[in-house]
Amino acid sequence: MKVLKFIVGLLAVFALLVFSYGYLKENEVIDRVIEYYSKNPSTLENNEYQKEISIDFVSNTDDFEPNNKQDILNIYYTVILSGMDSFTFYCPHEYSTCMEDVFSINDDVATLSQLNNFVNVFNTFRSIKTTYTNNGKVNIDIEKVYSTEDIERINNKVNEIYSTVVDESKGYSYNIRAVHDYIINNTKYNLSLENSNEFTTSSTAIGSLFEGLATCNGYTDAMSIFLDKLMITNVRVSNTTHIWNLVNIDNKWLHLDLTWDDPVNNLNQDMLLYDYYLKTTAELKETDSKKNETDHLFNETIYNFIN
């Protein structure tokens, strides 16, 4: 019996070795062991499209060993901000609810969409996938809204428009209005997608700049790209049904909504309004009240830096 147990044990060890070396290279086996004990996060690499805004809601971090849910949210934000397509960090053993909090954030579409509003348009994500292993390893994989080819195409178009519309000898007021008018005069709201969650080019700056059709996302992204090129501090603000721009002028945040300044009318006529052009929050609410509209309600806790 002892001989039989010995033989079975020997066969088990042999099978393990065959598996390890048959399915994994020798170095990979060693790497897996090292990884399990070292738990080193990925090295953060920032691309050229950086936009960092000082806010209370979330912050850029260089600490990738979280101790609470806010730390995890900061890691997600930092990775999105950087423009990386994937990133790995580890949950500390002593943080017992870490993995639970990771998936709570990953499943919170409303919160993740707010993170998009505070990064450069070209680093925004279309989807985020989170996976994990038993040793606390967390992988974040990001699908971007804009591909490298999209960005090159958009930048070329923006440079072309910029050279004809913007006058750098004049102030920000002239140039913001010039871009505002150009986008509206060359874009129509895509009514076919008004009540749709479908992602199309109309949901991006491509729809506005190349196809002349956009939803609120397309108008807002296009404006944000121009504002960045003008080196004017800006973010986006959104709720579950609408998104628009926020612009910082002379240390004051003002709302700028191109979608609502390009209203759809029954006569199918092109219109250019300034009802939502560089408005304070109080003015925004007053305009909505007069129009009996509620599309500009937003989380004032997240955007508490506006007032």
Same-domain status, 166 and 131 = no
Structure confidence at residue 199 (pLDDT): 83
CA distance 196 to 216: 12
Question: b/e map of 41-66 (b: 16 or more CB within 10 Å)?
Answer: eeebeeeebebebebebbbbbeebeb
Same-domain status, 70 and 91 = yes
In 3D, which of 126, 127, 136, 49 has the Cα closest to residue 90? Answer: 136
Tokens representing residue 159 in the block: 């440079």
Q: Considering the domain boundaries, does residue 247 fall inside one?
A: yes
Q: Which of 86, 120, 144 is the last residue of a domain?
A: 144
Q: Considering the domain boundaries, does residue 306 fall inside one?
A: no
Same-domain status, 13 and 108 = no
Greatest Cα-to-Cα distance within the chain, rounded to the nearest angstrom: 94
Q: Considering the domain boundaries, does residue 299 fall inside one?
A: no
Name residue, tokens 């020997």: 10
Same-domain status, 138 and 155 = no
Same-domain status, 156 and 287 = yes
Residues 6+ apart with CB under 8 A from 68: 95, 101
pLDDT digit string (tens) for 200-259?
A: 999 999 999 999 999 999 999 999 999 999 999 999 999 999 999 999 999 999 999 999
Amino acid at 133: T
Structure confidence at residue 14 (pLDDT): 46
What are the angstrom distances between the C-alpha of 188 and each of 39, 184, 216, 224?
Answer: 51, 7, 10, 18
pLDDT at 17 over 60: no
Same-domain status, 203 and 76 = no
Name residue, tokens 């709570």: 104
- Section 162-176 average pLDDT: 94
Number of domains composing the chain: 3
Q: Which of 144, 179, 196 is the last residue of a domain?
A: 144
3-state helix, strand, coil in the chain (%, to 5): 45, 15, 40
Same-domain status, 24 and 53 = no
Same-domain status, 181 and 116 = no
Q: Which helix (H) or strand (E) holds 210?
A: none
Helix, strand, or coil here: 74? Answer: helix
pLDDT digit string (tens) for 95-108?
A: 999 999 999 999 99
Same-domain status, 198 and 123 = no
Name the band, by pLDDT with cuts 50, 70 and 90, for residue 13: very low
Range of the domain at 182: 148-291
CA distance 126 to 128: 7
Q: Which of 144, 176, 191 is the last residue of a domain?
A: 144
Q: Which pTM value belongs to this model?
A: 0.86
